[in-house]
């Protein structure tokens, strides 16, 4: 999921790096289209990583239980 979400912004970023005239288009003041896209790509990456980490941390999978029989020689760890 993390790679899928970031694939399109990365592909467009590569396109901007190949075309300097497209990346130099002014969006607001000195902010160019390429700079705005790079900033948006950073926000998407950080947001997707945060979302992925929060889902991984709240996973409902129980930890594997250890029993006395699974320990070496039945002793404590």
Its pTM stands at 0.60
Cα 21 off chain centre by = 29
So what's the pLDDT on residue 65? 54
- Per-residue pLDDT tens, the chain, 77 aa: give them: 677 777 887 888 788 788 778 778 888 888 888 888 889 889 988 998 898 888 877 765 555 555 656 556 655 55
How far apart are alpha carbons 36 and 44 in whole angstroms?
Answer: 12
So what's the pLDDT on residue 19? 78
Q: Where are the beta strands (DSSP E) in 15-73?
A: 26-28, 31-32
Nearest to 41 by CA among 16, 4, 6, 3: 6
Q: Under a CB-based contact definition with an 8 Å cutoff, are residues 2 and 8 in contact? A: no
So what's the pLDDT on residue 46? 92
Ramachandran class of 3: left when φ > 0, alpha when ψ lies in -120 to 50, beta otherwise: alpha
């Amino acid at each position: 999921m993390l790679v899928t979400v970031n694939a399109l912004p990365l592909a467009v970023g590569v396109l901007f790096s190949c075309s300097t005239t497209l990346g130099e288009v002014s969006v607001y003041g000195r902010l160019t289209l390429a700079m705005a896209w790079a900033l948006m790509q950073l926000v998407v990456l950080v947001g997707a990583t945060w979302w992925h980490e929060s889902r991984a941390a709240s996973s409902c999978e129980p930890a594997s239980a250890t029993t006395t029989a699974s320990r070496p020689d039945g002793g404590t760890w």
